[in-house]
Amino acid sequence: MLSAGAPVAVVGAGAAGLVAIRVLREAGFRVVCFEASNEVGGTWVYADVNKVPDWAGHDVALRNEPGGDDRRGSPSPSHSSPLHSSMYQSLRTNLPKQVMLFPGMPFPDAAPSFPGHVEVQRYLLRYAERHAVRDHIRFETPVQEVRPVSSRALDGYVVRYACRQRPDEVREEWYAAVCVCNGHYTVPYVPSHDSRSVHQVDDESKEDAGRGIVEHLTDGTFAPGRIHHSHFYRQPTRYAQQRVLCLGAGPSGIDISLDVARVAARPVYLSFHGSMPAACVSALRRAGVQPVAALTAVTGPRQVRLADGTQLDDLDVILLCTGYRYAFPFLADACEVRVQHGGRVVTPLYRHLLPVHRPNLPLVGLPYSVVPFPLFEYQMRYVCRVLSGAIRLPSESAMRQDTREEWRARTALGMAPRHFHRLGDRQWAYDRYLADAAGVKGPTLAAQSVYNDAGTSRKANPVLYREREYRIFGDGPEDWEVAITVA
């Protein structure tokens, strides 16, 4: 239990870090946030990338770790070099602004229901200003290490960080708790042989699209064809007239293949595991994207084979839209946080948030297939009450048991282990649990209904779903309406 005024560090000033600063400060803690870059917003800070490394080239930092598991996730990208986000130029949100918002802070009325990334970044800047969080952020200070002082969590942590302005200076400071908000969309993931698939059509298909192909991608067989990852994708121009195969049909894979199809040789192939509704296939085809079976092998220069036996020749680029890995390269081994299942699962955690033996080292924002901004707020409000002692956690063994039961229940439903942090429909119960425990209002049924409607229409027509404009006028499940702006 920490007393008011105790020093708490936050790593990262993306959306999660901004919320963490605000909520911790309101709870009376002394907050210092370390941010590697020179701006707030993380994912939403768009940056041009001039060099796109080839996956099969020399940049081994981009490859998965052998075996896929390691103690803290991939050691790269280097925590001493600047990170860039995975934001691309044409991105519009895949969640309606009426749902995506932080509780109590709407997006501007003038913004469409699915705003572009610039609008979201402005929104985060306004949030930072409204809650005066900037004063607590030290920019250009990448955290190099978070090290427990002793085996007792209560003794706190030493944070070692660098100052970009004075690269030779490395400093260390003590904090009673550290909130880890370093983001989970910058270290590329490619399915390896250790990934097992589930046969489902939804966002998971991005991970299953080419399971087991990482080995084929790194041995140079595809050369002179190039292999890129969506982390480096900014705009389609470099793919003009090229024959492109996008791998993975998650939200980014679909959006990027549509973006590329504006300039590339048509069709752009979209390879994924499973099936798609016929309406979705037709909509994609009309836009120049051809859904095809999962990639099973790279069979030669610019040549691949698909699960249904089809061979595709003369490809110029395979664009991997296969998602990202969790990585905490700065957590010392003594923190005992492990990243498993090919970088997709973090253990041992209670409620996808608190290391069971170190609840004062929360890992914020791990769940995916969720509405992230409000989830960050519920998590952080819960964390504050845990830190202040207002919430008494169960014993360590009871927390482990709770997590084991969740594993068991979800495995019984057919969940692949690596999807443990994928909450989907479970997010509402999760959010409400945290919000109730923290004594704040949880998500409304109206927000839940709008989220469901947007998801359903995205699956039916990924080309046009953003033409829907939502309005929420109450909390109940029926208290919303939608107008469709395009026939």
Residue 42 touching ligand FAD (CB under 6 A): yes
CB of 427 to ligand FAD, least distance (A): 12
DSSP labels, 79-119: TTS-------TT-B-SS-HHHHSBTTBPPPTTS-SS-BHHH
DSSP symbol at 60? G
Q: How far is the CB of 473 from ligand FAD (least distance, A)?
A: 22
Residue 15 touches ligand FAD, criterion: CB under 6 A? yes
Whole-number Cα distances in Å, 187 to 75, 93, 182, 198: 9, 21, 11, 23
Applying CB under 6 A, the span of 67-75, 81-89, 280-288, 343-351 interacting with ligand FAD comes to 81-89
The reply on whether position 372 binds ligand FAD by CB under 6 A is yes
Q: Does 73 bind ligand FAD (CB under 6 A)?
A: no
Is 248 exposed, middle or buried, given 0-12, 13-18 or 19+ CB atoms closer than 10 A? buried
Query: Within 10 Å of residue 112's Cβ, how many Cβ atoms?
Result: 18
182 binding ligand FAD? (CB under 6 A): yes
Report in angstroms how near the CB of residue 272 gets to ligand FAD at its nearest: 17
Q: Which of 24, 153, 181, 454 binds ligand FAD (CB under 6 A)?
A: 181
Q: Report in angstroms how near the CB of residue 82 gets to ligand FAD at its nearest.
A: 8
Between residues 29 and 88, which has the closer beta carbon with respect to ligand FAD?
88
Q: Binder to ligand FAD among 8, 25, 37, 204 (CB under 6 A)?
A: 37
Amino acid letter for position 259: D
State how far Cα 263 lies from the chain centre: 28
Q: Does 225 bind ligand FAD (CB under 6 A)?
A: no
Q: Does 11 bind ligand FAD (CB under 6 A)?
A: yes
Alpha-carbon distance 426 to 407, whole Å?
13
CB 96, CB 466: distance < 8 Å:
no
Site for ligand FAD in 86-115 (CB under 6 A): 86-87, 91, 93-95, 100
- As a whole number of angstroms, the distance between CA 176 and CA 384 comes to 13
Measured from the CB of residue 172, what is the shortest distance to ligand FAD in angstroms?
Answer: 14
According to CB under 6 A, which one of 330, 382, 428, 470 is a site residue for ligand FAD?
Answer: 330
Q: Which is nearer to ligand FAD, 64 or 86 (CB)?
A: 86
Binding of ligand FAD at residue 79 (CB under 6 A)? yes
DSSP string, 157-175: EEEEEEETTEEEEEEEEEE
Q: Give phi and psi for 336, each to the nearest 5.
A: 55, 40
Sheet holding 7-11, edge to edge: 137-139, 30-35, 7-11, 177-180
Binds ligand FAD by CB under 6 A, chosen from 9, 10, 23, 43 = 43
Three-state secondary-structure class, residue 20: helix
* 123 lies in the site for ligand FAD, by CB under 6 A: no
Instruction: Candidates 10, 21, 137, 143: give the one binding ligand FAD (CB under 6 A).
Output: 143
Q: Binding of ligand FAD at residue 430 (CB under 6 A)?
A: no
Please say whether the beta carbons of 113 and 93 come within 8 A: no
Which residues sit at the interface with ligand FAD, rule CB under 6 A?
Answer: 11-17, 34-37, 42-44, 79, 83, 86-87, 91, 93-95, 100, 142-143, 181-183, 185, 252, 330, 365, 372-373
